[in-house]
Chains A and B, each alone.
Chain A
Amino acid sequence: MDRFSWTTGLLELGETLVVQQRGVRLSDGEEKVKFDSGVLLLSTHRLIWRDQKNHECCIAVPLSQIVFIEEQAAGIGKSAKIVVHLHPASSNKEPGPFQSSKYSYIKLSFKEHGQIEFYRRLSEEITQRRWESIPTGQAMQVNKDSQAGRIRAVGIVGIERKLEEKRKETDKNISEAFEDLSKLMEKAKEMVELSKSIANKIREKQGDITEDETIRFKSYLLSMGIANPVTRETYGSGTQYHMQLAKQLAGILQTPLEERGGIMSLTEVYCLVNRARGLELLSPEDLVNACKMLESLKLPLRLRIFDSGVMVIELQSHNEEEMVAAALETVSEKGSLTADEFAKLVGMSVLLAKERLLLAEKMGHLCRDDSVEGLRFYPNLFLTQS
């Protein structure tokens, strides 16, 4: 930590901010220091840290002081860190918080995440060394003396070697994970090939499989996440799972639908259901597939797809066309309405309000006035007054 200097924190002319991150703690090697909670800024020339509570407390170190950096993954109760190895401080360095330090590296703890992006940007800046080509307003502590730099580097070779070993071990853990992943994927690939072969045989009728077996096949595809080779759908539609899900949904959605005038967009349903579940959430495709089965299972809800592609769930008892008549009355009372205004009046989402007005228009009850001020609907006087 003795490589840092006090600074105002203002960027020099020619210095550009690259990235910043809140919630960063500095450590002097393995030891905690008082720089507990701050904003870390990376510029083209320096690494700057400013205390979040006391903005006067601001320190910086030139990027040229950095030998190399490494990532330290997060652990239980520990934030992810970046370890920054530094050259010894140059003799003409501006005064800073520490006169000396027994460590040649510091640690940046990312208590509020952001380490991945920061590491990436810091690596880039160290590689590009933009501070060498862009002169700045104030004299920077640039390590121009490359000859001396080389001699200094030799001095910390022992430390570097130890760190290299430690890095290799971390790398080994990661590479083991990747190796295991590759092996797993090989096996998954075999499953994909097999399913393709089965689908082909079904198509070419090489051996009849029963309806039961078809359902089994679809559920295997679902488990593996393999697109159904016959229909090209990326889900095993019409599986037992989706049937059960459809029935569950009918139960869960009855009350929410009644509270919302009998109709909800599929996106609203997705959020509602998943928020309630908390765990073992539904995928969007699960939801769509289950809803597609509502009608055939004779449940009291149905899926409806508007011309625009918007998908909704309606109570069977809900009649959108009847709602259109009510909408016409509302619009007539006010003279004209936009989807936003109508939504506010009636207490609906803008998405569904717009669909209702569009449906009314399609049925001939409303006319549109499409201008730069927005889309406005009027009662269709051509129809009523002709």
Chain B
Amino acid sequence: QAKYKERGSVLAEDQLAQMSKQLETFRTNLQEFASKHKHEIRRSPAFRLQFQDMCATIGVDPLASGKGFWSEMLGVGDFYYELGVQIVEVCLALKHRNGGLITLEELQQQVLKGRGKFAQDVSQDDLLRAIKKLKVLGSGFGIIPAGGTFLVQSVPAELNMDHTVVLQLAEKKGFVTVSEIRAGLGWETERARQVLEHLLREGLAWLDAQAPAEPQFWLPGLFSELYSQEITPEEAREAIP
């Protein structure tokens, strides 16, 4: 006791004991919060977003572990981890068509379809957070900002800044040409060709050599007409007002 007073400062062990106590109190507080608002988190993407932002601000990752308090008591973990599984499955199913590149919109549509009518709403923010966690598994998940939205990469294709920038340029129309890259980015022909050839090799782009003016490089992951293949004729009729 005297020795402790002499030191004049609190030791690590003492703080550890303090933390243990505070942890128990916090656990109780969280339990109370969960009993009142747990359903709000699962039901409301807006509330979820607020929750996530606040956690990030104070330096807490509620999704780090399924064993964490947040996950256990609020059920946030299960929501996002299950979403992760659904994202992997959707990307795998569509890979043969788009080479492993998909827009966030299409991913959201397909995931919602798979979840069924009575499942909770899933926002694009939810998807992005789930994907950020999936990256940890090392199988090539990545997020590429493009045209105000995002492209989701699900295969370990190496995409550097040049590739990314061309994808962003192609995002508007779903395809791009060498001339457009030269004009839009100010690059030399050779640099543009190299990037496009890389995208072809990786299976992310298809070449339309018979396009009228010059060859067009199409990116299946980017254009929406392609995913209409999966809807019924009825749905197709409804899509046109």
Residues in A lying within 8 Å of B, measured CB to CB: 9-11, 17, 20, 22-23, 39, 41, 43, 48, 50, 52, 55, 73-74, 111-116, 174, 177-178, 180-182, 184-185, 187-192, 194-195, 197-198, 201-202, 206-209, 213, 216-217, 220, 222-227, 234-236, 241, 265-267, 270-271, 274-275, 279-288, 305, 308-311, 351, 370-372, 374-375
Contact = CB atoms under 8 A, between A and B. Distances in A.
A73 B43 contact: yes
B139 A311 contact: yes
Contact of B15 (A17, A181, A194, A283): A194
11 contacts: A174-B47, A180-B33, A184-B33, A187-B26, A191-B22, A195-B19, A198-B16, A236-B65, A267-B134, A284-B81, A286-B66
A310 B158 CA distance: 12
A271 B88 contact: yes
Contact of A112 (B14, B117, B123, B241): B117
B66 A280 contact: yes
B137 A270 contact: yes
Given A235-B65, A280-B78, A17 B241 contact: yes
Contacts of A305: 138
Contacts of A198: 12, 15-16, 19
A356 B72 CA distance: 39
A275 B71 CA distance: 17
Given A116-B121, A198-B16, A287 B137 contact: yes
Contacts of A223: 23, 27, 67-69
A145 B17 CA distance: 72
Interface in B70-88: 70-72, 77-78, 81-82, 84-85, 88
B63 A283 contact: yes
Given A181-B54, A184-B30, A270-B85, A206 B139 contact: no
A60 to B, nearest CB: 10
Contacts, number: 226
Contacts of B117: 23, 111-112
Interface in B166-210: 197, 200-201, 203, 207
Interface of B: 9, 11-16, 18-20, 22-23, 25-27, 29-30, 33, 36-37, 40, 43-47, 50-51, 54-55, 57-72, 77-78, 81-82, 84-85, 88-89, 112, 117, 121, 123, 133-140, 155-156, 197, 200-201, 203, 207, 237-239, 241
A225 B44 contact: no
A241 B72 CA distance: 14
A224 B62 CA distance: 7
A181 B37 contact: yes
Contacts of A224: 23, 26, 60, 68-69
Contacts of A310: 138-140, 156
B48 to A, nearest CB: 11
Given A177-B36, A274-B82, 13 more contacts: A188-B58, A189-B59, A192-B60, A195-B19, A222-B64, A225-B64, A267-B139, A270-B134, A283-B64, A283-B71, A288-B136, A308-B156, A372-B197
A141 to B, nearest CB: 18
Given A206-B11, A351-B155, A284 B241 contact: no
Contact of B16 (A11, A23, A217, A227): A217
B139 A190 contact: no
Contacts of A207: 11-14
B237 to A, nearest CB: 7
Given A177-B40, A189-B58, A207-B11, A222 B68 contact: yes
Contacts of A208: 12-13
A265 B88 CA distance: 12
